[in-house]
Amino acid sequence: MDTSPAALDVLVVGAGVSGLATAFGLVRRGLQVEVIDAGRAPGGVIGTVKRDGALYETGPNSALDTTPLIGELIAAAGIAAERLPASEIANTRFVVRDGRPIALPMSPGAFLATPLFSGLAKARLALEPLVRRQPAGEEEVIAHFVRRRLGREFLDYAIEPFVAGIYAGDPDRLSVPAAFPKLHALEQRYGSLILGAILGARERRKRAETAKNTAKSFSFRGGMQTLTDALARGVQRVTLGARAVSLARLPDGSFAVTFDQGGTSFTRHARAVVLAVPAAEAARLAYPLAPDATRALQEIEYPPVTVVATAYRREDVTHALGGFGFLAPRVEGRAVLGTLFSSSMFEGRAPDGQVLLTNFVGGRRNPELASADDATLAVKVAAEHRALLGARAPALWNAIVRWPRAIPQYELGHLGRIAKVAEAEKAVPGLRFCANYRGGVSVGDCIANAHATAESLGAWLRAPVTAP
């Protein structure tokens, strides 16, 4: 039991990619850091499982290389050689329309020819630059934004399925400035998404950033867990199986966090604490120190998502599987939100002669189905494979991973909630909140936010200590 005051510079609660990347950045700055997590392994929702010669992911299958910070972190963690780019084939993405997967058009010519959008919907795009911008400061949901600027069909067959693919979310609830800050900025700045896309690309080139629609997907030879395992090795002090139950601030301004590890309790002291846990847990821990932030964090909802990894013999699936996978729009009424062609994206995901598909079920759209029993899920997913991919024999196996609270929803009012969290950080120096409910849900966003947290906390810890 550690009772010494401020034995650590920083205690990070939560060993998902947000917590691990923050801790890794702080260790690189020469600080004494420990990460403690309730789970049995580091990584949070990131996890890679080997089964019967295949390799499937419990959470993210890939990350997008949107900022140089990702490559820098991977190099510093010593796993640059393990990195695996997605195959060229993965540039093709399908969206289901009228019961069949149709490739998303990637060029103006393909756009004009695609049956994914009607002639009327395509013509409607020409009006986009003429649509008036939303007054600054007025928060709008993405469904309204897209209907207003691009028309109903783009909402149904382009944006809604992507919103389901990224957030497992509902476009009638997600806030444009919170969940899609770049779209919001394009409209505010250029008055048009089309003009903004053209002019914005120039500016991104200057900043060495890549837009999410052109950034390259990657994973690692051994799967996404390679990243979190390497970060955990770099941090060294990672304690698992211990759940934080309370957080207190001591008279000298440092913190005491008490954990429960299999019925035994222990306390760690640190000059600073990073809460890198989901919003509800952060709310519970922060309550005594930041009641306003607690209320805001409690409002952030996480719908369930269930992952179904499925292996087939190659000859039992008629579809060529030449792509990243397909997304199923809500209006198509399918049981899955989408399916990744995992073995087409990355080599080594299925043994020779087999294919691996990763299916996502549930989300805001269909939360009940996420909690269906294993047999029901297998039947529903198999029916989609028969209908959409021409599967003509049963799967070799299904593996089911359940996330009852999968992804935070950046819904209307989200930026106000995050402002309360930022106020708490100002009011309680040394307390930081860093997890995927803030600054973006993607692995790349988590890495960028962790980098910023490590940088600012590192600077603060190096600053002369003043009594509270």
Binding site for ligand FAD (CB under 6 A): 13-19, 36-39, 44-46, 59-63, 243-244, 276-278, 281, 305, 307, 403, 406-407, 435-436, 441-444, 446
CB of 176 to ligand FAD, least distance (A): 19
CB of 258 to ligand FAD, least distance (A): 10
CB of 7 to ligand FAD, least distance (A): 18
Nearer to ligand FAD, 345 or 389 (CB): 345
Q: What is the 3-state secondary structure (H, E, C) of the chain?
A: CCCCCCCEEEEEECCEHHHHHHHHHHHHCCCCEEEECCCCCCECCCCEEEECCEEEECCCCCEECCCHHHHHHHHHCCCHHHEEECCHHHHCEEEEECCEEEECCCCHHHHHHCCCCCHHHHHHHCCHHHCCCCCCCCCCEHHHHHHHHCCHHHHHHHHHHHHHHHHCCCCCCEEHHHHCHHHHHHHHHHCCHHHHHHHHHHHHHHHCCCCCCCCCEEEECCCCHHHHHHHHHHHCCEECCCEEEEEEECCCCCEEEEEEECCEEEEEEEEEEEECCCHHHHHHHHCCCCHHHHHHHHCCCCCCEEEEEEEEEHHHECCCCCCCEEECCHHHCCCCCEEECHHHHCCCCCCCCEEEEEEEEECCCCHHHHCCCHHHHHHHHHHHHHHHHCECCCCCEEEEEEECCCCCCCECCHHHHHHHHHHHHHHCCCEEECCCCCCCCCHHHHHHHHHHHHHHHHHHHHCCCCCC
Nearer to ligand FAD, 395 or 407 (CB): 407
Max Cα–Cα distance, the chain, nearest Å: 71
Nearer to ligand FAD, 96 or 406 (CB): 406
CB of 360 to ligand FAD, least distance (A): 6
Nearer to ligand FAD, 48 or 61 (CB): 61
Nearer to ligand FAD, 36 or 150 (CB): 36
CB of 190 to ligand FAD, least distance (A): 27
CB of 60 to ligand FAD, least distance (A): 3
Nearer to ligand FAD, 183 or 307 (CB): 307
CB of 209 to ligand FAD, least distance (A): 16
Nearer to ligand FAD, 38 or 186 (CB): 38
CB of 239 to ligand FAD, least distance (A): 9
CB of 363 to ligand FAD, least distance (A): 10
Nearer to ligand FAD, 240 or 387 (CB): 240
Nearer to ligand FAD, 150 or 230 (CB): 230
